Homo-oligomer: A and B are copies of this chain.
Amino acid sequence: MPDAPHVPAHLAPFVHADPARAFELSAIDPGDKPCSSGRKGDDRAAVESLAVELDALQNRFWADRRRKLLVVLQGTDTSGKDGTLRHVFGRMSPLGVRTAGWKAPNEVERAHDFLWRIHAAVPSSGEIVVFNRSHYEDVLVPVVNGDLDGDGLRQRLAQINDFERLLAETGTVVLKFMLHISRDEQRERLQARLDDPQKAWKFDPADLAARERWDDYQRAYQAALAATGTPWAPWIVVPADSKVHRNLMVATVLKSTLESLDLRFPPLPDDLRGVRVA
């Protein structure tokens, strides 16, 4: 069995790791705060100190070079993917950490299978790569648009599971977070983008069109997550109406996973012991 994410026991209700078991996205409350101390200021300080710990763990992960880590951030528009990148991964050195953002495929990418461009971007030894959106868009957007269903969808979901198993079996820990927000919270965040001059650049009119199909997207997420939560690449649903809680939970799972890997600084080879530099 390859290395897999390690999630603290009290977060088990938010993990889906077996496609044969029932999974209900709608049963998880986006306003829940399973990692919270109950005090926002303390939670915010905890995120800051976790980010510093994660920096040290990433340094060790990079030095160790025995594994790769792929973090997938999925969620609807405004669910907090960029904010998670900033607050959870923002203290790490850029040496060994990389993000890949996924927009609609271009002409060359469309001329290949949907996992072609994804595979090209997976982490190498020692690297942490964060996907800002991912191959899951390919089982969401076409489903909502009515271009993919039935056997075609089932095939693609199975291809994703096979692909992620390949990654896990070849040394990659695959950590998939679904940033789960409510429809009301999305309205407030979209409005904030319209009203705040420092956020306006993030507003995309297409987000309004997607919002009109909120229920369709939730159904597509439900089907995709249910089919692709596996032992080697489980889904972790993060209640994300609170930004601080979202950061806290992602950082907590990330730390727990990195600590479970027994990372080490490679020792000096025997023939270099006692060498003096002239």
**A211 cross-chain contacts in B, Cβ below 8 A:** 277-278
Residues of B within 8 A of A276 (CB): 191
B90 adjacent to A265 (CB under 8 Å): no
A86 and B96 alpha carbons, distance in the complex (Å): 11
CB-defined contacts of A208 to chain B, threshold 8 Å: 275, 277
Contacts of A11 in B (CB 8 A): none
A208 to B278: give the CA distance in the assembly, Å.
9
8 A Cβ contacts from A181-233 to B = 187, 190-191, 194, 197-203, 205, 208, 211
A201–B272 alpha-carbon span in the complex (Å) = 11
What's the dominant secondary structure at chain A's contact region? mixed
Q: Does A38 touch B at the CB level, under 8 Å?
A: no
Q: Does A146 contact B (CB under 8 A)?
A: no
Q: Indicate if the CB atoms of A91 and B94 lie closer than 8 Å.
A: no
Kindly list chain B residues whose C-beta atoms are within 8 Å of the C-beta of A201: 63, 65, 265-266
Verify if A33 is at the interface (C-beta below 8 Å from B): no
The bracket for how many chain A residues form the interface is 35 or more
Known: A191-B277, A276-B191, A277-B187. A268 touches B94 (CB 8 A): no
Give Cα distance in the complex from A47 to B90, angstroms: 16
Interface residues of A (CB under 8 A from B): 55, 63, 65, 82, 85-86, 89-95, 97-99, 101, 130, 132, 187, 190-191, 194, 197-203, 205, 208, 211, 265-268, 272, 275-278
What are 14 A-B residue pairs whose CB atoms fall within 8 Å in the complex? Answer: A85-B93, A86-B95, A89-B94, A90-B92, A90-B94, A91-B91, A94-B94, A94-B98, A94-B130, A200-B267, A200-B268, A201-B265, A211-B277, A211-B278
Closest 9 CB pairs of A and B: A200-B268, A86-B93, A201-B266, A190-B277, A63-B201, A191-B277, A85-B95, A90-B93, A94-B99
